[in-house]
């Protein structure tokens, strides 16, 4: 009997072999230093420690990408402090159990069921029960020892699967929703912070009433702050990015009992997912091995400040700063550690407690979205001073606003404050364009120059001066102060909000922002660009427009639409001016200027930057620019509610931020076209040297004109010079050849190493150069139908999609033969004589 007992004990405590496997059998254990790896090597399960944390968790992560990315966590609320004393087992009762084994205890940290000691009385599961980590990232406990074929799939009994219990990540093939009959309710919950996978404040759930839509909730599910809108059979109403074609939605017919939604990637082998971030934003991302990072395609809601409570009590959100949350004067983060870990939901606390009597106020200018919970004060509070007094005499009052007509006061903590240009208020929030909220603070925190401080000093003086004299002096001071304020406001101009984060500036405000147009950055299409700053100090670039004939109503409508477009590779439109024929666009300022400044050698570019700021871009930087611009164009073409054609893609319209990342500028000058891409655009023209044949032939203009211009841009990124610039031939000192001709020939010969800018000192990746040249040649095909979409270009540059060797465009053949540089392009033979004409002359003739 003793021998049998020992054998049984050994059987039920089997450990994994040292080689990687994907399956646990009944009684088998996974030790702390062992992992399960899916059969195709896509996913791995084991212990991990997030960030710099010394706590460990059982999780699933991507196995085949260079950045460890966890997609599922088992023991979210019960971290492992001593990893060497734990193991995972598929118990004899058929459930997965994670134990923290210590000499004096065997604590259960997590189980795939609500198993307890009473479970031993249940009938044992079939001996074929196994737990398998599948190649789609799903950990499945099923009664089948072998992987079922499609014909036997119906016979498999799934006892439990991780796809039914997601954490913060939604993988392709997983279902989100509920099946009330089987008791399944799958929804996403954010991590608490970047180093703590415990359930955070935000969740994404399917509509409980049976509608085909998702809601983003805050405060542990207490408050909805964003919704996808109802599924229309192709996309969710509020997610136009779904038209991009990167994934396909698969809805389940919703009813009172079942309401599920799943999706799949259209690209075989693509690595992508949805992730609910700790700040409450739902992010769609795709892995790029070329870039070595996750590429963000879209986030919902677009504005992080639209997430309710993301900055916590008394926190102020700004979509123009990084990080977005900050504490106002007199307040500090309640938890510096949580804020460091990107979780600011704890909010801000007071530096000094309120004293009730003797408190004062600090003003938050430009707070145009005020928190909910306000109460209108009595009619007697007709001005700002009376409104402040109403709040001060009530010890529970924490803030007030006077909008010029009414007084609003708040009691308790203020949540969801935003300082930016946003006048549209959700959920009944008070909306006052240009309103200033005054926060109550202890007397020691009141600025010496504040109205409250001055008022207290005046009260002391009033006690020692004759009432009539004091009233006269106070009146004079008030008149002078009001006059000075009005004069200052008139000098500075007016800044108001129009929609979302878009500002409307009058012309005086534009002059103030640019210091009367004193610092010129450069000249571009339709106007001159000047450096400036918004009233809050944010640096901007102001484009003073010239020669526009658009009506004011149409101009405003188009600019407001463009102001809603935000993408990491597009220069953000901050605001605009439309005052008679004085018009300007206000963009984010890009510290490193335009691409042509750094790409072309002195004299060949026309950028506005000085030589002292000129930086020779490495091949890696150029390749990242190419991918970034492609993503920006793909967003304009495919992911906006209506296709936007740029029409003027060139180095001068590509700006570089502080990290040398590419931002596409001047898309605000393009026309919006509907879904009928055959619309003819007759009023816009691009730049000579980047024009597609359609422009010259007066043919209908589509998004493929941008593809053509982008292809020519790629050639310039490779060579480091203008395509149209005459330069010495690489052969026998000819007068020069058109670079795309030379590149197309060399590409077909299989020799692209000589095409790279000589300043790179052979630092370029030859395979990447070849890929860029292939994509460029496809982009400049004569027939627009032969050119790829920008979405496909992004995939090709990122290495997600293959790119075949393209045919040499007939236009290049014409240029080559007219220029006398190629006898027979199809045989790839360069002439040995000097070219008969310059490249520029040949282009002009054609």
Contact of 361 with 450, CB cutoff 8 Å? yes
CB count in 10 Å sphere of residue 550 = 15
Instruction: Return d(Cα 711, Cα 740) in angstroms, integer.
Output: 9
* Selection from 799, 793, 765 nearest residue 780 by Cα: 793
Please check if 63 is assigned to a binding site: no
Instruction: Return d(Cα 139, Cα 21) in angstroms, integer.
Output: 13
Contact of 656 with 592, CB cutoff 8 Å? yes
Joined tokens for residue 520: 């010129």
Contact of 38 with 53, CB cutoff 8 Å? no
Contact of 287 with 272, CB cutoff 8 Å? yes
Task: Supply angle C-alpha 267, 272, 276, rounded to 5.
Answer: 150
User: Which are the contacts of 628, defined by CB distance < 8 A and separation ≥ 6?
Assistant: 568, 569, 661, 662, 663
Contact of 776 with 740, CB cutoff 8 Å? yes
User: Which are the contacts of 265, defined by CB distance < 8 A and separation ≥ 6?
Assistant: 172, 246, 247, 272
Verify whether residue 648 is a known catalytic residue.
Answer: yes
Contact of 805 with 774, CB cutoff 8 Å? yes
Instruction: Return d(Cα 68, Cα 788) in angstroms, integer.
Output: 33
Instruction: Return d(Cα 613, Cα 616) in angstroms, integer.
Output: 10
Distance of CA 546 to the CA centre of its chain: 33
Three-state secondary structure call for residue 828 = coil
Task: Supply angle C-alpha 168, 170, 172, rounded to 5.
Answer: 160
Burial 135-164 (b: 16+ CB within 10 A, else e): ebbbbbbbbbeeeeeeeeeeeeeebbbbbb
**One of 265, 359, 648, 757 is an active-site residue; which one?**
648
Instruction: Return d(Cα 128, Cα 192) in angstroms, integer.
Output: 38
Pairing of strands 502-505, 573-579: parallel
At what angle are helices 790-797 and 619-634 packed, to 10 degrees? Answer: 150
Joined tokens for residue 330: 């007199």
Binding-site residues from annotation? 544
Which sequence positions are flagged as catalytic?
Answer: 648
Binding-site residues from annotation for ATP? 544
């Amino acid at each position: 009997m003793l021998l049998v007992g020992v054998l049984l004990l050994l059987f039920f405590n089997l450990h994994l072999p040292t080689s990687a496997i994907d399956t646990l059998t009944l009684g088998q254990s996974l030790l702390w230093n062992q992992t399960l790896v899916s059969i195709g090597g896509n996913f791995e399960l084991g212990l991990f420690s997030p960030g710099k944390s010394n706590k460990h968790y059982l999780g699933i992560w991507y196995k085949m990408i260079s950045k460890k990315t966890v997609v599922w966590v088992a023991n979210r609320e019960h971290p492992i402090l001593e990893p060497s004393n734990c193991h995972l087992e598929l118990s004899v009762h058929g459930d997965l159990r994670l134990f923290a084994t210590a000499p004096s205890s065997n604590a259960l940290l997590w189980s795939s069921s609500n198993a307890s000691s009473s479970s031993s009385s249940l009938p044992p599961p079939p001996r074929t029960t196994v737990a398998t980590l599948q190649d789609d990232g799903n950990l499945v406990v099923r009664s089948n020892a072998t992987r079922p074929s499609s014909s036997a799939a119906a016979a498999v009994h799934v006892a439990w699967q991780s796809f039914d219990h997601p954490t913060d990540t939604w993988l392709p093939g997983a279902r989100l929703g509920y099946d009330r009959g089987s008791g399944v309710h799958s929804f996403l919950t954010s991590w608490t912070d970047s180093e703590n996978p415990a359930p955070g404040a935000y969740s994404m759930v399917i509509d409980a009433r049976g509608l085909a839509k998702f809601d983003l909730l805050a405060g542990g599910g207490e408050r909805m702050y964003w919704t996808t809108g109802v599924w229309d059979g192709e996309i969710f109403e509020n997610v136009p990015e779904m038209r991009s074609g990167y994934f396909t939605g698969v809805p389940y017919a919703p009813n009172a009992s079942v309401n599920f939604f799943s999706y799949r990637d259209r690209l075989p082998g693509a690595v992508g997912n949805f992730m609910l971030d700790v700040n409450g934003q739902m992010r769609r991302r795709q892995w790029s091995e070329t870039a070595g990072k996750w590429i963000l395609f879209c986030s919902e809601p677009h504005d992080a400040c639209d997430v309710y409570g993301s900055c916590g009590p008394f926190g102020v959100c700004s979509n123009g700063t990084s990080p977005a949350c900050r504490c106002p004067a007199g307040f500090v983060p309640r938890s510096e550690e949580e804020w460091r870990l990107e979780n600011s939901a704890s909010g801000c606390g007071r530096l000094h407690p309120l004293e009730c009597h003797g408190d004062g106020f600090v003003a938050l200018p430009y707070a145009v979205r005020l928190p909910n919970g306000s109460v209108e004060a009595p009619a007697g509070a007709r001005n700002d001073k009376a409104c402040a007094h109403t709040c001060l005499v009530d010890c529970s009052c924490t803030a007030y606003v006077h909008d010029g007509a009414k007084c609003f006061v708040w009691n308790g903590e203020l949540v969801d404050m935003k300082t930016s240009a946003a006048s549209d208020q959700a959920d009944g929030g008070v909306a006052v364009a240009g309103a200033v909220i005054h926060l109550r603070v202890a007397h020691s925190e009141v600025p010496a120059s504040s109205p409250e401080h001055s008022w207290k000093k005046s009260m002391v003086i009033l006690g020692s001066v004759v009432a009539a004299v004091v009233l006269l002096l106070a009146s004079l001071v008030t008149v002078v102060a009001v006059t000075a304020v009005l004069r200052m406001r008139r000098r500075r101009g007016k800044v108001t909000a129009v929609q979302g984060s878009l500002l409307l500036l009058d012309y005086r405000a534009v002059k103030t922002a640019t210091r009367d147009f004193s610092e010129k950055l450069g000249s571009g299409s339709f106007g001159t660009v000047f450096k400036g700053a918004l009233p809050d100090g944010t640096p901007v670039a102001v484009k003073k427009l010239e020669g526009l004939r658009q009506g004011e109503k149409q101009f405003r409508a188009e600019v407001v639409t463009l102001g809603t477009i935000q993408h990491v590779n597009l220069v953000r439109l901050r605001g605009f001016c439309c005052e008679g024929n004085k018009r300007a666009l206000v963009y984010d300022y890009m510290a490193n200027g335009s691409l042509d400044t750094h790409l072309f050698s002195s004299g060949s570019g026309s950028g506005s930057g000085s030589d002292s700021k000129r930086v020779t871009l490495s091949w890696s930087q150029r390749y990242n620019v190419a991918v970034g611009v492609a993503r920006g164009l793909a967003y304009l073409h495919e992911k906006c509610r209506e296709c936007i054609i740029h029409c003027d893609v060139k180095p001068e319209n590509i700006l570089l931020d502080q990290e040398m990342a590419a931002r596409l500028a001047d898309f605000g000058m393009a026309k919006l076209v509907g879904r009928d891409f055959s619309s003819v655009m007759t009023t816009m023209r691009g730049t000579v040297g980047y024009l597609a044949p359609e422009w010259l032939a007066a043919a209908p203009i589509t998004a493929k004109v941008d593809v053509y211009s982008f292809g020519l841009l790629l050639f310039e990124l490779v060579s480091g010079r203008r395509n149209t610039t005459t330069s010495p031939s690489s052969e026998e000192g000819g007068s020069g050849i058109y670079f795309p001709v030379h590149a197309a020939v060399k590409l077909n010969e299989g020799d692209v190493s000589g095409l790279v800018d000589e300043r790179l000192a052979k630092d370029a990746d030859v395979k990447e150069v070849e890929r860029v040249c292939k994509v460029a040649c496809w982009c400049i095909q004569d027939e627009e139908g032969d050119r790829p979409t920008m979405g496909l270009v992004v995939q090709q540059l990122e290495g997600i999609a293959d790119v075949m060797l393209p045919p040499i465009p007939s236009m290049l053949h014409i240029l080559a033969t007219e220029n006398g540089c190629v006898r027979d392009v199809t045989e790839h033979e360069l002439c040995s004589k000097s070219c008969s004409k310059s490249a520029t002359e040949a282009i002009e003739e054609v």
